[in-house]
Structure 1
Amino acid sequence: MTAVRRSRPAVLVVLLCAALGALCLLSIALGARAIPLDQVVQALTGHVPGPGGQAAENVVWTVRVPRTALGLTAGVALGLSGALMQALTRNPLADPGVLGVTAGAAFAIVLSIALLGVGSLFGYIWFGFAGALAASVLVYMLGRLGRSGLTPVKLALAGVAVTSLLSSLTGAIVLTDPEPLNRYRFWSAGSLAGQNAEVVRHILPFIAVGVVLALACAPALNSLALGEDVATALGRRLGLVRLQGVTAVMLLTGGAVAVIGPVVFIGLVVPHVARVLAQRAGIGPDQRWLLPLSAVLAPCLLLAADIAGRLIARPVEIQAGVLVAFIGGPFFIAMVRRRRLAEV
C-alpha cells in the first residue's frame, strides 16, 4: 500500500507529460491547411514522399513547430510564475495577469516602441522585464495600505486597479501613434501565431534561467508556508528568497509577454488545478511537486486553447488569449467569492 502511494506522484507526472506530448502533436497536425497525421509524423521524422510532400514539410517546420514550441515555452513561464507568486505571497489570487505584472510588461513594451522606436524582440524583452518589476512593486505597495495591512483581497483589488490604469495608458499610446498600434493590435489579444523559431531561441535563455531560479525556491517556499517566523527559525533568509522569487517572476513573465502578448489567468487557474491533482495523488502542498506540476499543466492549457481557437471558427482563428480569458474569468470570480479567502 505504501509503495502504491509513493508511485502516485510519478504516475501523475507521466500522465501529464503524455497529455502534453499529445497536445504538441495535435498542435503540429491541426491548422488552416489539413495535413494527414501520417504526413505530419513523416515530416517530423524524415521526409514526406509524393507530390505536395515538400509543401507539407515547410508548413510543419516553418509554421507549426515554432508555434507549438512557443506555446510550450510561454506556457511553462506563465504557469510557473503564477505558482511562484501564489507561494511567495501566500495569496490564492496571485497571478501575473491579475496582479498587474503582465499589464506592466505590456505597457513598458508599447512605451518602448512609441517613444524609443524599439523594433526588435531582444529590445522588447528588457522593457518587459522592467515593466513587470515596476508593476509588481506598485501593486505590493498599494496592497499594504490601510489598517489591516496586506490581505489577499486587497492585493487582488490593487492588481486590478493597476492593470486597469496601465491598460488605459497603453490604449492611449497606441491610439495616438499608428506605429505601435499596428504592432499592438494583434499582439494584445495574446496569440501564438506569426512567430518563427528565432523568436523561441531569443526568449529561451531568459525563461530557462527563470525556471531554474523558481524551482530552486521550492524548499524555502515550503518553509515560508509555515509562517515567516518559522521560516526564519529554520534558517531561511526571507529577503534573499523573495529577491530570487521576484527575479524569477520578472524573467518568466517579461519573456513570455514580450512574445505572445498579455495572456492572463493562466497563472491563476493552473496552480489551483495542480493543488487538486497533488492532493489526490497524496503529495500535499509540497512546492517541490506543485511548481513542476504547474509548469506542465500551463502549456497544456495554452496549447489546448490555441488548438480550440483554430477549430472553432475555421478558417478564421480565435486567439488563444481570448479563450484562456473566457475560462479564467469565471474561475477568478469564483475564487474571490469563496469565504475562506478572508482567512488566508
Structure 2
Amino acid sequence: MASFLRVRPVTAAPGRPPILPLARPAVGFTAGVGLVAALAAASMAYGAMAIPLSEVVGAYTRFNGSDAHLVVTTVRMPRTLLAVTVGASLGIAGLLLHMLTRNPLADVEVAGINAGAATAVVLVAVLGGASSLALLTATSLAGAAAGGLLVYVLGALGRDGPTPLKLTLAGAAIWALGESLTSGLLTAHERALDEVLFWLKGSVAGRELDLVGPLLPWMAAGWLAAVAVAPALHVLTLGDDVARGLGVPAGRVRLAAGATVVLLAGTAVAAAGPIGFVGLVAAHAARALLGLRPRWLVAYSAWIGAAVLLVADLAGRFLAMPEELPVGVTTALLGAPLFILLGWRALR
C-alpha cells in the first residue's frame, strides 16, 4: 500500500454532524445490502410481465424454458446486475468528487464527466461506430477524463483557484457545451442518432451479460481504489497544511482520486450511458448516516447508489406503461429537486 494512504487518524473535521448517526456502521451496511437484495428481487419480478418470486427462484433452480424463466435469466437478471454495479460505481464516484472538490453540488453530471464521455462516444459513432466494447470503454474513459480535466482547469482560473462555486459554474458550462455538441453531431448524422439516442438518455434495459461481464473487473478495481484513497482524501478536506503535517502528498492523492472517479464514471457511461444525480443522492445520504468515516462512506455510497438506481429503474417501468422511461430520466426526476435544494442552501 502506498505510503500516502497510511495516515494518522483524524478525530475532527469540518461539516455538519450526521442526521441519523449510526453507532455500528457494519449493522447499517448489512441492512443496506439486504435492501439492495430485496430491490434486486423486485427488479427481476416486476415489470410489463409480473413474475412471482417463486418463479424467479425457479428460473435458477429448476429452469424449464418457459417464457417467465427466459425473461428472468436473459432480460431482467442482466438488467438488475447492471443497475447494481453502475449504481454502486456512480455512488462512489459522487462521494469522491464531494471530497475532492469540497463541493456539496458535485456529481459526475455537474462535473462535466458524463458530458465528456457522452460527447466522445457520439463522436466515435459519427465517425464510424463503436465496433467493440473495448473501443466504447476506452472512448468513454478518455472523454470522461477530458471533460473532468476541462472543468477543473476552467474552475481553477483566477486568483482564488478552484473554489466550489467556480467548479460548479464550469461544470454547468461544459455540461451545456457537451449537450450542444452531441445534439449537433446527431442532427447532422441520422444514422448515429438511431444507434445512440436511447443510450444517451441513460438506460440499463436491453443489456446482456456479455456487456456486464467485461466491465465488472474495471468497476471492482475502481471500488477498491476508492476504499484505499478515501482516508488520505478525507485528510485533504482539512486543508493542505494539515495534510502536509500528517505526511499526505496532496498532489498524488488528488491525482489518484481523480483517476478513480474517471475509471468509475467512464465504465458506468460505457455500460449504461450518462446517468446523473445518483452520486449526489448517495454521497449526501451516506454523510447523513455516518458523518465523516472515509472507508465506511465509500461502502455506504455503493449500496445507496445501487438502491437509488434500482428504484429509478423500477419506477421507469411503471410511470409510462406500457412504455418505459430510461433510468436517466427517472434519476433526474429524483435528483434535480435535491440539487436545487442544495444550491439554495449553499447560496443563502
TM-score by length of 2: 0.90
CA deviation string 1:166-196 (max 9, x = no partner):
1100111111112210122111111110100
- One of 68, 73, 92 as aligned partner of 2:85: 73
- C-alpha distance in 1 between matches for 2:163 and 2:234: 20
Match of 2:45 in 1: 29
- C-alpha distance in 1 between matches for 2:136 and 2:22: 45
Match of 1:47 in 2: 62
1:121·1:259 contact (CA, 8 Å) conserved in 2? no
Work out whether 1:307 is the aligned partner of 2:314: yes
Paired residue total: 328
Work out whether 1:228 is the aligned partner of 2:240: yes
Q: What one-letter code is carried by the residue in structure 2 that aligns with 1:101? A: I
Match of 2:300 in 1: 293
CA deviation string 1:78-114 (max 9, x = no partner):
1111101111111111111111000100001111111
Q: What one-letter code is carried by the residue in structure 1 that aligns with 2:44? A: I
Match of 1:108 in 2: 120
Is the partner of 1:295 in helix, strand or coil?
Answer: helix
2:43·2:314 contact (CA, 8 Å) conserved in 1? yes
Deviation at 1:296, TM superposition (A): 0.7
- C-alpha distance in 1 between matches for 2:81 and 2:246: 40
Deviation at 1:222, TM superposition (A): 2.4
Structural mapping, 1:90-129, within 5 Å: 90-129=102-141
Is the partner of 2:66 in helix, strand or coil?
Answer: helix
CA deviation string 1:46-90 (max 9, x = no partner):
1156xxx62222111100000000001111111111101111111
Structural mapping, 1:1-344, within 5 Å: 8-44=24-60, 46-48=61-63, 54-278=66-290, 284-339=291-346
Q: What one-letter code is carried by the residue in structure 2 that aligns with 1:32? A: A
Deviation at 1:6, TM superposition (A): 8.0
Deviation at 1:121, TM superposition (A): 2.1
- C-alpha distance in 2 between matches for 1:238 and 1:145: 19
- Higher mean C-alpha deviation, range 247-256 or range 221-230: 221-230
Deviation at 1:272, TM superposition (A): 0.4
Mark the runs of 5 or more structure 2 residues left unpaired by the alignment.
1-20
1:81·1:249 contact (CA, 8 Å) conserved in 2? yes
- C-alpha distance in 2 between matches for 1:16 and 1:71: 15
Deviation at 1:118, TM superposition (A): 2.4
- C-alpha distance in 2 between matches for 1:56 and 1:190: 26
TM-score by length of 1: 0.91
- Higher mean C-alpha deviation, range 160-169 or range 112-121: 112-121
Deviation at 1:316, TM superposition (A): 1.1
Match of 1:281 in 2: none
- C-alpha distance in 1 between matches for 2:236 and 2:178: 31
- C-alpha distance in 2 between matches for 1:96 and 1:312: 25
Deviation at 1:35, TM superposition (A): 1.5
Deviation at 1:16, TM superposition (A): 0.8
Is the partner of 2:342 in helix, strand or coil?
Answer: helix
Deviation at 1:7, TM superposition (A): 5.3
Deviation at 1:11, TM superposition (A): 1.6
2:83·2:204 contact (CA, 8 Å) conserved in 1? yes
1:84·1:214 contact (CA, 8 Å) conserved in 2? yes
Q: What one-letter code is carried by the residue in structure 1 that aligns with 2:110? A: V
Q: What one-letter code is carried by the residue in structure 1 that aligns with 2:213? A: R
- C-alpha distance in 2 between matches for 1:328 and 1:183: 27
Mark the runs of 5 or more structure 1 residues left unpaired by the alignment.
279-283
